[in-house]
Chain A
Amino acid sequence: MLKTQTIQEELNLISTTVANLPNTHPFDVPHDYFHQLSARILHNAGISGSAVDADPDLSPLLASLKELNPYSVPVDYFRELKVTPQKPDTKIVRIQPWKTWTAYAAAACLAGIMVIGGVFNNGTGKAPETMALKENTLAEQAVSTETIQSYLNEADAGQATETMNNETGSENNLLVELNTEIIATILKEIPENDISFYMAQTGDHEMLLLN
């Protein structure tokens, strides 16, 4: 291949040695490499290959095989071939349509049971309180108001008696604890006027008690 004039002139200006070298290459390629390269590129690019069939230059062998068909059919096959149109499919009706509803109902019941069980299991801390309140309410309804009032009156009276008994008991104990001689000594130390005044205020039964 001869260099164009422009390239040659440019090279002459730079280096006459290089200008005199041939601008051919020494490399070799396999036989028919370029003939098959385009087909391989199209194949590797994932292209279908219809273009290869359409272009006899690309692959003459494939192009020549395109019209040949190795398969055969019986004589007059296509003439006798009849296509019978099929009837439209009959609509299919379910025999037991309620089965669907029962399935849904069973699922709903099961879900309800699970929810209720979950509520009771989660509220175990509050359940005893609720039961105690319920029992109190029932007891209040069973006992009448009068009964409750009389019970309270009796309770108050009993408490008062008990208080008095307690007080009397303490005085008696005090008297028991004091010896008669000590009492007489105490009385001697008290003036007669004070004693008379005291007896006039408290009455005879107190005096009797002291004697």
Chain B
Amino acid sequence: MNNVHDDNEWVALFKMGGNQKEQAFTKIVKHYQEKIYWQIRRMVVNHEDADDVVQNVFIKAWNGLDNFREDAKLSTWLYRIAVNESLSFLEQKKKKASVSFDDVAEVMENQLKAEKGFDESKAVWKLQLAIQQLPEKQRIVFNLRYFEEMAYEEMSQVLDTSVGALKASYHHAVKKIEEFILHG
């Protein structure tokens, strides 16, 4: 696990340019690729879609890292890009399909059921089905808290939302998931 010191060092090397820029970025990608991928994958479900989005995230990071101000953590900045890219992707998907929120939830549920090894009787799959019923914002909050175990303060920077609102969102999300698991 890297620390803030490594992040700062990589960013500093990146900003020096030349061959060091590429080496620093390679280290950043290698370190964060799995975390970013899984965050996106839980949002978009499909692997091919997640692959496209994760590449967009790092291409944006490459283009924007020179202007990274380091008043936030590098991981927070990357998560923020990932959230925005995931939401943009889902928005485009909605427009292409010309469907409402309920229909999108149905589409995502069908995508989930088409995943390899899907078994509704297993708790992990049932949990994923329940997560797909949540509104987008609650889904992001739940994923970041439940799977990534992100602190509310950092989540507040990622989502540009107050800590109180995030706690309320998480509470509602957990209650809805419980309802789906028990009666869904």
Query: By the criterion CB–CB under 8 Å, are B55 and A41 in contact?
Result: yes
Answer whether residue B146 sits at the interface, using C-beta atoms and an 8 A cutoff.
yes
Complex contacts, B175 vs chain A, CB 8 Å: 14-15
CA–CA, A128 and B124, complex, Å = 107
* Known contacts A27-B47, A45-B62; A22/B29 CB under 8 A: no
- B177 CB within 8 Å of chain A: yes
Q: Interface segment, A48-56, A160-168, A179-187, A203-211?
A: A48-56
| 46-77 of chain B: CB within 8 A of chain A | 47, 51, 54-55, 58-59, 62
Partner-binding segment picked from A32-40, A104-112, A117-125, A139-147: A32-40
Count residues of A near B (Cβ-Cβ below 8 Å). 37
One digit per residue, 1 when the CB lies within 8 angstroms of any chain B CB and 0 when it does not, for chain A 180-202 equals 00000000000000000000000
Known: A15-B174, A47-B22. A27 touches B34 (CB 8 A): no
Given contacts A21-B127, A27-B47, A28-B116, contact A41 B58 (CB under 8 A): yes
- Asked if residues B124 and A55 are in contact (CB atoms below 8 Å), the reply is no
Known: A18-B181, A26-B117, A41-B59. A51 touches B174 (CB 8 A): no
Q: List 7 A-B contacts (CB under 8 A).
A: A4-B149, A23-B146, A27-B115, A29-B37, A38-B29, A41-B29, A45-B62
Chain A interfacial positions (CB closer than 8 Å to B) = 3-4, 6-7, 11, 14-15, 17-18, 21-30, 33-34, 37-38, 40-42, 44-45, 47-48, 50-52, 54-55, 57-58
| New A-B pairs, 7, CB < 8 Å, besides A28-B117, A41-B58 | A18-B177, A18-B178, A25-B38, A27-B115, A37-B33, A37-B54, A51-B19
